[in-house]
């Protein structure tokens, strides 16, 4: 199949999702699109002129129908769940539920995504001093409410918190009065086992490296959601370095390259298969957020291409992966900012970075031109979205990335060795912990210094 046909079909599908998300079309419009598509097919059958153009139009229309219908199905399910517990909103509820996602520890509380016995997802705000794990069955007592949008203090814009939670099927929120653990996770659940290993690893890092370096260590290696603190997190955003903390394609690429080099002595099929499996397990371990899933899926496709000795068409891989993710959960196209930034940044790296890097490599060392080129490309690509959502743009991002990114692969390796070895025998882990502390302290120092500059961000 020609690539242009694939792009036409994907464009129509995404347009259908977007159109239905914004305009909330009815069934009549879908029927109209189907009739229009068949009408064009008839023209195609009896008219040999302009066949290519008509094929593209027909593909777009029928793909658009699929997109609209897929979004309508998601909206029906969403609306059904959204109204199911309306009669209990504002009341004190007492129910049993299972924690279905990794607890999200913040500065003031822990956010638990739980599923009740009736199958509804609820976001529970628990005490920061509680101990909760994925898969635990708990009893929750609290006041049932609905999430509310709020105004971002930095830019004065309203954040669609309702839509952000709705993309994951969460429509209710509880500020708990009392939580009791009924039973801990049992049985062989691969996700529960991975989260258990992750907790042991983070506890090891926490015992070896002080805060805030340990929080950063967990972020760059396993995507830990443990808060860096509001001020420091904002500093990472203002300096354009937040992508190393929340795990992006950069971190996944570092891991894949490292594993491929370590296993280069094995037969190609075995080493590449092992790398693919490790990437899948790593994506699950980090919580499988949209940017990580996208980066991991593209990485696996790249490894598969190497295994089969086939050319890796990165643009086609991005389109296929993004389309499958949107088909699985249509809400991420409009409601998931991280997914949007991840895809757009990748497009910038594909189409802008080679030109900038080529120009810079004539006067700068290759490694430096690569870092500057990729940073500028990603910034150019995501700037419109950042300005739209946050009304600000980092002015110092390129310089900060040049100063920090060269040491991140080594920092990830040393940090991982410190945490992993510390899980079994602390004395041997101490030298690695010291090295990790030095490098992470340097990263934080660079971020804080540039964040204090009066011109570090451009606000519009």
Mean pLDDT for 10-23 is 83
Alpha-carbon distance of 111 to 7, in angstroms, equals 39
Alpha-carbon distance of 192 to 423, in angstroms, equals 18
- pTM recorded for the entire structure: 0.78
Under 8 Å CB-to-CB from 80, ≥6 apart: which residues? none
pLDDT level of residue 44 (50, 70, 90 thresholds): low
Tell me the CA distances in angstroms from 419 to 194, 203, 245, 261, 433, one per residue in order: 15, 8, 17, 21, 8
- Give first-to-last CA distance, the chain, whole Å: 45
pLDDT in tens, 93-132: 888 888 888 887 777 788 888 888 777 888 888 887 778 8
Under 8 Å CB-to-CB from 26, ≥6 apart: which residues? none
Q: How many residues does the chain have?
A: 460
pLDDT in tens, 347-394: 887 788 788 888 877 777 776 777 777 777 877 887 788 777 777 778
pLDDT in tens, 51-96: 666 677 777 778 888 888 888 888 887 777 777 777 777 788 888 8
Secondary structure string (H, E, C) spanning 313-358: CHHHHHHHHHHHHHHHCCCHHHHCHHHHHHHHHHHHHHHCHHHHHH
pLDDT in tens, 181-195: 787 766 557 777 888
């Amino acid at each position: 199949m020609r690539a242009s046909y694939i792009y036409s079909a994907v464009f129509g599908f995404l347009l259908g999702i977007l159109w239905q998300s914004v305009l909330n079309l009815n069934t009549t419009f879908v029927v109209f699109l189907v009739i229009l598509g068949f009408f064009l097919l008839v023209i195609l059958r009896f008219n040999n002129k302009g066949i290519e153009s008509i094929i593209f139009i027909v593909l777009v229309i029928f793909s658009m129908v699929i997109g609209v219908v897929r979004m309508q199905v998601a909206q029906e399910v969403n609306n059904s769940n959204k109204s199911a517990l309306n009669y209990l909103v504002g009341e004190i509820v007492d129910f049993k539920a299972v924690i279905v996602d990794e607890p999200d520890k913040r500065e003031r509380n822990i956010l638990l995504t739980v599923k009740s016995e009736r199958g509804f997802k609820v976001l529970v705000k628990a005490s920061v001093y509680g101990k909760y794990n994925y898969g635990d069955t708990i009893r929750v007592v609290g006041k049932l409410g609905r999430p509310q949008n709020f105004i971002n203090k930095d830019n004065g814009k309203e954040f669609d918190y309702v839509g952000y939670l709705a993309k994951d099927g969460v429509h209710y929120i509880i500020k708990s009065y009392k939580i009791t653990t009924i039973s801990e996770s049992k049985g062989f659940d691969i996700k529960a086992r991975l989260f258990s290993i992750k907790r042991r690893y983070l506890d090891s890092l926490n015992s070896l490296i002080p805060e805030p370096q340990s929080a950063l260590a967990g972020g760059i290696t396993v995507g830990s959601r443990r808060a860096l603190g509001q001020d420091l997190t904002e500093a990472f955003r203002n300096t354009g370095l937040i992508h190393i903390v929340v795990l992006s394609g950069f971190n996944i690429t570092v891991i894949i390259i490292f594993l491929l080099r370590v296993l280069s002595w094995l037969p190609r099929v075995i080493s590449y298969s092992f790398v693919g499996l490790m990437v899948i397990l790593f994506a699950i371990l980090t919580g499988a957020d949209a940017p990580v899933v996208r980066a991991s899926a593209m990485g696996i496709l790249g490894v598969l291409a190497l295994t089969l000795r086939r050319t890796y068409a990165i643009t086609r891989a991005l389109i296929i992966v993004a389309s499958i993710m949107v088909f699985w959960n249509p809400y991420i196209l409009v409601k998931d900012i991280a997914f949007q930034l991840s895809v757009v940044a990748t497009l910038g790296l594909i189409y802008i970075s080679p030109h900038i890097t080529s120009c810079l490599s004539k006067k700068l060392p290759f490694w430096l031109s690569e870092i500057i080129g990729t940073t500028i490309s990603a910034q150019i690509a995501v700037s419109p979205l950042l300005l739209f959502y946050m009304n600000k743009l980092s002015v110092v991002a390129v310089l900060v990335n040049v100063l920090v990114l060269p040491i991140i692969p080594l920092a990830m390796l040393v940090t991982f060795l410190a945490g992993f070895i510390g899980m079994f025998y602390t004395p041997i882990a101490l030298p690695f912990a010291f090295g990790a502390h030095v490098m992470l302290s340097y990263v934080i120092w660079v971020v804080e210094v540039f964040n204090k500059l009066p011109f570090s961000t451009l606000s519009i």
